[in-house]
Structure 1
Amino acid sequence: MHVSRAIGLSLSILLAGSTSLLAADARKQSAQPSILSEFRIGFSAQDPWGSEGDDGSANLTGEILLAKPFTASDLFTSYFIPRPHFGGSLNFDGRTDFAYTGLTWTVDVTPSLFVEGSIGGAFHNGKKDANDPFSDRRALGCSPLFRESGSVGVRLSANWSVVATIEHLSSAGSCSENRGLTNIGARVGYSF
């Protein structure tokens, strides 16, 4: 009997101790900054003013924003520190898909309203010149392309937001073709 009580008491102490350590570790991990800042997913209209969007072609879009590499002591200076991002756009109609990366600057207009600008590069699977056999795709020239975007967002809570975005991909005249691709859409974001 004494042995079973001793084993039971030892297991109880071990369990209580390990639970305390796990709780302390969880508190320690939550105090450490995360490398991830935000995840966004949504839809966009593919090139609504161009040849790829003539029939209402749409995309599934996703983006991950990383944390700022360092922080500033004041709010104004922090607006000049961008967040690295990467993402992609998958077209539902087999038209141009692309993956991108770059930097995003976010400026708070009010506590719940913000604007963003981003710049970077994108790789695509679209048509490169007018002689390519993909007749339903716009001739974008080379790959990679430059990618710029502008957004307006609303924070619904501490973690959730809705963001409207217009993005443009172009060779900026560095390739023989420079017709570009412009998409507009909206995404739901979750901040970590």
Structure 2
Amino acid sequence: MKERLLIVLTVLVIFSSIFGEGIASEGKGDSTIVSEIRFGLLSHDVGVFAQSFENGVDINFDIFFKSPDKSFFRKFSSPRPMMGTCIHSDGQTSQVYGGLAWDFRTTDNILLTFGLGGAVHSGELDSDDPGEQRLGSRVLFRLAMNVGYYFSERWNASFYWNHISNASLATPNYGLDSMGLQIGYVF
């Protein structure tokens, strides 16, 4: 438990230095590459598109970067590069991931985000125990979705779903779904 707490604190210190720079640069021009951060608590391995083997809570953190102002990215609706982590509270499968996120706002206050990318996890690849999560490959594909609400210009809250699996490129392919709530801050 102490090791997990140390990891979480280390990640928060690293990211707080990035965020501090972004906040400090506010009003002095637009020099930060970070566009948004989101923190969340997720129910772990809930079995939406996968079997459920592990219990517990994930501590979630995502960082979104500004979409590069390049014509290549604009051809694909200007996705934002992002990275994040889900750290399991009881030391079971945790993950670090990255990819692209597409944002859609149907009104001024409604938030829709779709993510696509890859993940690396700390869980079991294969096991003889039929009651244990098995993901088949250390590197997995990742899909994610947020549906939320902006309650001010900078703050939002959303329902978040995260799915990782190997897309049947390795066996077994049980996959892992996590879902819960996130709070976001836009720079």
Superposition TM-score tier, normalisation by shorter sequence: 0.7 to 0.9
Higher helix share: 1
Deviation at 1:71, TM superposition (A): 7.4
Residues 36 and 48 (structure 1 numbering): CA distance in 2 closer, same or farther, change over 3 Å?
Answer: same
Deviation at 1:147, TM superposition (A): 0.5
Q: Please, which moves more after superposition, 155-164 or 27-36?
A: 27-36
Q: Distance in 2 between matches of 1:64 and 1:93?
A: 23
User: Hey, what does 1:69 align to over in structure 2?
Assistant: 68
Deviation at 1:151, TM superposition (A): 1.1
Kept in 1, the 8 Å contact 2:111–2:158? The answer is no
Amino acid at match of 1:51: F
Q: Distance in 2 between matches of 1:94 and 1:178?
A: 21
Kept in 1, the 8 Å contact 2:36–2:63? The answer is yes
User: Hey, what does 1:150 align to over in structure 2?
Assistant: 145
Structure 1, residues 1-24: CA drift from partner, whole Å, max 9, x if none? Answer: xxxxxxxxxxxxxxxxxxxxxxxx
User: Hey, what does 2:57 align to over in structure 1?
Assistant: 58
Gaps of 5+ in 1: 1-25
Deviation at 1:48, TM superposition (A): 2.0
Q: List structure 1 runs of 4+ shifted beyond 4 angstroms.
A: 26-29
User: Hey, what does 1:182 align to over in structure 2?
Assistant: 177
Q: Distance in 2 between matches of 1:187 and 1:44?
A: 8
User: Hey, what does 2:113 align to over in structure 1?
Assistant: 116
TM-score by length of 2: 0.77
Structure 1, residues 126-158: CA drift from partner, whole Å, max 9, x if none? Answer: 000123x8x874100101100001110211111
User: Hey, what does 1:88 align to over in structure 2?
Assistant: 85
The reply to whether residue 164 of structure 1 matches residue 159 of structure 2 is yes
Kept in 1, the 8 Å contact 2:46–2:176? The answer is no
The reply to whether residue 43 of structure 1 matches residue 41 of structure 2 is yes
Q: Which has the larger radius of gyration?
A: 1
Deviation at 1:32, TM superposition (A): 2.7
Deviation at 1:94, TM superposition (A): 1.5
The reply to whether residue 102 of structure 1 matches residue 60 of structure 2 is no
Structure 1, residues 67-98: CA drift from partner, whole Å, max 9, x if none? Answer: 111178xxxx7981100000001111111000
Kept in 1, the 8 Å contact 2:60–2:84? The answer is yes
Q: Distance in 1 between matches of 2:108 and 2:70?
A: 19
TM-score by length of 1: 0.75
Identity over aligned pairs, percent: 30
Gaps of 5+ in 2: 1-23
Residues 11-30 of structure 1: matches in 2 within 5 Å?
Answer: 30=28
Q: Distance in 2 between matches of 1:138 and 1:93?
A: 14
Q: Distance in 2 between matches of 1:118 and 1:46?
A: 18
